[in-house]
Amino acid sequence: RLLLQIHDELIFEIYQPELEKAKSIIKEIMEHSLELSVPIKVNLKTGNNWAELN
């Protein structure tokens, strides 16, 4: 579930058993939804709370 969007950052809440599959899907969609002349690279971080991500 998408919780928050801040500038170029998206915060999701994902159940632990679905985490790896969700990361793969999110990355694929974000990097390949549009055909652009420059690549879009997505960096993913995971953590149990906001402090673990920053």
Range among 6-15, 17-26, 34-43 with highest mean pLDDT value: 17-26
Q: Measure the CA–CA gap between 44 and 23, rounded to whole angstroms.
A: 7
Percent pLDDT > 70 in the chain is 100
Tokens standing for residue 13 = 């809440």
Q: What is the pLDDT confidence band of residue 25, given thresholds at 50, 70 and 90? A: very high
Dihedral angle sign, alpha carbons of residues 54, 12, 20, 26: negative
pLDDT at residue 47 in the model: 93
CB-CB neighbours of 27 under 10 Å: 14
Q: Measure the CA–CA gap between 18 and 5, rounded to whole angstroms.
A: 21
Tell me the whole-structure pTM to 2 decimals: 0.80
Span 22-51, mean pLDDT?
Answer: 93
